[in-house]
Amino acid sequence: MTEAKIIDGKAFAADVRGRVKSAVDVLKADHGITPGLAVVLVGEDPASQVYVRNKGKQTLEAGMNSYEFKMPDTVSQEELLAKVAELNEDPAVNGILVQLPLPDHMDDQAVITAIDPDKDVDGFHLVNVGRLSVGATDGLIPCTPLGCLLMLKDHFGGSLSGKRAIVVGRSNIVGKPMFNLLLQESCTVTVAHSRTDDLPGECRRADIVVAAVGRPEMVKGDWIKPGAVVIDVGINRIEKPDGGTRLVGDVEFESAKSVAGAITPVPGGVGPMTIACLLRNTVTACCQQND
């Protein structure tokens, strides 16, 4: 039996970051513009702190300006909205990201709505959600689904037209935008979720499986059509028999890799692509603002 090709997200992300840096070099040298990304973190969530630190580091490595704003979790929504309004007006800031989740006393959607859609590098603002859903090419696209799409297009040599795809998970951050992107690429797309009847049967029909449900190793190898391409968005920490922990995806990697044609590992698959696409979106936003 042939084993799946393991899609190297780390190498792919490094390549995307390299191309972002080249674009930044041209913006600086030929136009005197340095793109800037502002990240706002409310509270002390350790995982969010790690993400924000990595975003800042990679923004600087790509030659861009990074602005970090840390606010205590006692801050009011009004104070956070005032910060967003200030960043909306700041010409040095081309992209704004407010790290989610926000503390319970805040309304995530109200904060996202306050961000200027042209600076919304997460692609979560309703204007960008709408642009994506009508197939407009000038919107900002959520980073994780964009990363998945770039890897899929690379694997298939550019065109996904006519492929049968399934997205397992219907979140606003991954599942729904992934559906829209695959549909735009002329795939025949099914969106499955926890209430789907015969989820294994639905998956078995698909040439492309994108798993984004947040359930450790839920998608099994015998749910995969031989030769299908499997993109695993899940990042779940589970306990090992020895008491330690390890990271696993939403797909049971060992059983899936002996059936799939190609598969992304966890870690080292989709994960590194998210920040790479955030940097890419920041350059896109900067170019559009200076057009």
Active site residue 70: no
CB of 278 to ligand GUN, least distance (A): 7
Tell which residue, 115, 118, 131, 147, has the closest CA to residue 286. 118
Nearest-10 crossing angle of helices 175-184, 143-155? 40
CB of 271 to ligand GUN, least distance (A): 11
- Residue 97 in the binding site for ligand GUN (CB under 6 A): yes
Rg (the chain; Cα; Å):
19
Residue 115 annotated as binding?
no
- Residue 122 in the binding site for ligand GUN (CB under 6 A): yes
Please give the structure tokens belonging to residue 190.
Answer: 């099914």
Residue 122 or 185 having the CB closest to ligand GUN: 122
- CA triple 256-258-262, angle to 5 deg: 70
Distance between CA 214 and CA 223 in Å, rounded? Answer: 17
Residue 169 annotated as binding?
yes
Stretch that binds ligand GUN, among 78-86, 97-105, 164-172, 188-196 (CB under 6 A): 97-105
Active site residue 55: yes
Stretch that binds ligand GUN, among 5-13, 80-88, 91-99, 149-157 (CB under 6 A): 91-99
Residue 147 annotated as binding?
no
Tell which residue, 278, 285, 282, 280, has the closest CA to residue 51. 278
Please give the structure tokens belonging to residue 87.
Answer: 């960043």
Stretch that binds ligand GUN, among 85-93, 95-103, 237-245, 281-289 (CB under 6 A): 95-103
200, amino acid identity:
P
By CB under 6 A, name the one of 143, 174, 262, 286 that touches ligand GUN: 143
By CB under 6 A, name the one of 6, 33, 81, 100 that touches ligand GUN: 100
Which is it for strands 164-168 and 208-211: parallel, antiparallel or unpaired? parallel
Beta strands per DSSP E along 80-213: 95-98, 164-168, 188-192, 208-211
- Residue 185 in the binding site for ligand GUN (CB under 6 A): no
* 209-268: contacts with ligand GUN (CB under 6 A): none
Which is it for strands 236-239 and 245-248: parallel, antiparallel or unpaired? antiparallel
Q: Which residues bind ligand GUN (CB under 6 A)?
A: 97-100, 122, 143, 274
Which residues carry out catalysis?
A: 55, 99, 122
